[in-house]
């Protein structure tokens, strides 16, 4: 399943593939969710893998003129997908989202 969720005026793109415990991959700065294609193919056999494009990258809108937080975006996306607990995997700046969550 893939789609968009509107958060504070911005469309955030996501994909959810597979079944099992949720595992969220958060891309590095300057890239988008496609960087995780090989990991998605592997882990979606045993996990529900979620990838998304953070604001201003890939298929997500550039930040609106509203105040926003990458941590809040992740939290609201997980709520939208009815996920209360997940394995988080991040690279580079995205590691900060994991620590902040």
At residue 64, does pLDDT exceed 80? no
Q: Which domains does the chain have, with CATH numbers?
A: 2-100 (3.40.50.1820)
Residue by residue, what is the 3-state secondary structure of the chain?
CEEEEEECCEEEEEEEECCCCEEEEECCCCCCHHHHHHHHHHHCCCCEEEEECCCCCCCCCCCCCCCCCHHHHHHHHHHHCCCCCCEEEECCCHHHHHHHC
How much is the pTM?
0.90
Give me the pLDDT at residue 63, please. Answer: 79
Q: In the structure, what pLDDT confidence band is assigned to residue 92 with cuts at 50, 70 and 90?
A: confident
> How confident is the prediction for the chain on average, in pLDDT?
92
């Amino acid at each position: 399943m893939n789609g968009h969720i509107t958060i504070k005026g911005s469309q955030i793109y996501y994909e959810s593939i597979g079944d099992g415990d949720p595992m969220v991959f958060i891309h590095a700065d300057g890239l988008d969710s496609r960087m995780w294609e090989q990991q998605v193919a592997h882990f979606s056999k045993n996990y529900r893998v979620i990838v998304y494009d953070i604001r201003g990258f890939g298929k997500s809108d550039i930040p609106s003129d509203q105040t926003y937080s990458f941590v809040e975006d992740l939290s609201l996306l997980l709520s939208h997908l009815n996920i209360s607990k997940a394995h988080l995997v991040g690279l580079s700046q995205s590691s900060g989202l994991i620590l902040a969550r």
